[in-house]
Amino acid sequence: MSAPPDAVVLEAHAADVCRRAAALIRDQLGRAVGLETKSSPTDAVTQTDLDAEGLIRHALAEATPGAGFLGEEGGGSDHGARLRWVVDPLDGTVNFVYGLPVMAVSIAAAVDGDVVAGAVTDVVGRETFSAAAGRGARVDGRAIHVSDCATLAGALVVTGFSYRATVRARQGEVVGRLLPQIRDIRCFGSAALQLCWVGAGRVDAYFERDIKVWDHAAGELIAREGGARTELSCPENDGLVMAATPGVFDALRNVVGSTA
């Protein structure tokens, strides 16, 4: 393809396709079929994951011919393309299987390796969070912003846990250190939505280890454009992904930054 579209156009494409995939998932709520596992016995994939990713791939290929694609279920394609879509077709598959109402579709647009636009649709809540780099973040078109929480003691923190038992054990130790120092902690089962909720001021901070790029690509941009400080995983931080209000970030990082 030629030069990629502007970030605002990419945001609009992501939001539109997220909504379409979310509608497909809603139609299949309560009818999880084809249940399999991937990286561990607790890492589930259903036929709905595959159906949603198929819809997303087709729609984005029509909207942006020649773009590359990285999806949780179908892998990558067109690795040399300047524009690459990073997709989690159903973030919260375990919640979907159990009938719990927290799940999302997440689509991010990366140009030359940098995420410049993204959207996350809450499947059951029917809200769509979105952002374009340097243009702020929105929910259904309305501007959002992080909370004004400035102390760790007053922070409501969200997190999640690895599918790998050995990693979960270390994560439990981190939560044990953190819990006495904060307002409270929640775990909803969708990294994408939890990042968006930081950007929208509904929670004050999020942290998690051992998640994939498609889990956080769109949500991290939305949180950051909403005013959050963020950090992405790297070998030096042992795979930590974080987003928090500026007043909480450093104190939280000091507690969760080490798994020792």
Q: Which of 81, 113, 143 is the last residue of a domain?
A: 143
Name the 3-class secondary structure at 236. helix
- The predicted pLDDT at position 36 comes to 62
Using a pLDDT cut of 70, give the percent of the chain over it.
91
Residues 196 and 235 in one domain: yes
Structure-block tokens of residue 226: 């909403």
Domain assignment present for 134: yes
The 10 Å Cβ neighbour count of residue 6 is 13
Residues 118 and 29 in one domain: yes
Distance of alpha carbon 138 from alpha carbon 36, whole angstroms:
35
Residues 39 and 85 in one domain: yes
Distance of alpha carbon 23 from alpha carbon 5, whole angstroms:
26
What is the residue range of 164's domain?
Answer: 152-256
- The predicted pLDDT at position 34 comes to 57
Domain assignment present for 1: no
Q: Which of 143, 169, 203 is the last residue of a domain?
A: 143
Q: Which of 115, 143, 171 is the last residue of a domain?
A: 143
Residues 217 and 177 in one domain: yes
Residues 175 and 57 in one domain: no
Mean residue pLDDT across the chain:
92
Name the domain count of the chain: 2
Residues 130 and 164 in one domain: no
Strands (E) across the chain are located at 36-37, 44-45, 68-71, 75-77, 83-91, 104-111, 114-122, 128-132, 137-139, 142-143, 156-159, 184-186, 205-209, 229-231, 240-244
Domain assignment present for 118: yes
Nearest CA among 125, 252, 96 for reference residue 193? 125
- The predicted pLDDT at position 142 comes to 98
Residues 166 and 103 in one domain: no
Task: Give the pTM.
Answer: 0.93
For the chain, which residues score pLDDT lower than 50? none
Residues 178 and 135 in one domain: no
Residues 70 and 134 in one domain: yes
Residues 139 and 12 in one domain: yes
Domain assignment present for 199: yes
| Radius of gyration for the alpha carbons in the chain, expressed in angstroms and rounded | 17
Q: Dump pLDDT digits (tens) for 8-26.
A: 999 999 999 999 999 999 9
Sole residue written with tokens 């997440």 = 106
- The predicted pLDDT at position 198 comes to 98
DSSP state, 135? S
Residues 178 and 216 in one domain: yes
Domain assignment present for 103: yes
CATH code of the domain covering residue 59: 3.30.540.10
Domain assignment present for 83: yes
CATH code of the domain covering residue 223: 3.40.190.80
Residues 138 and 13 in one domain: yes
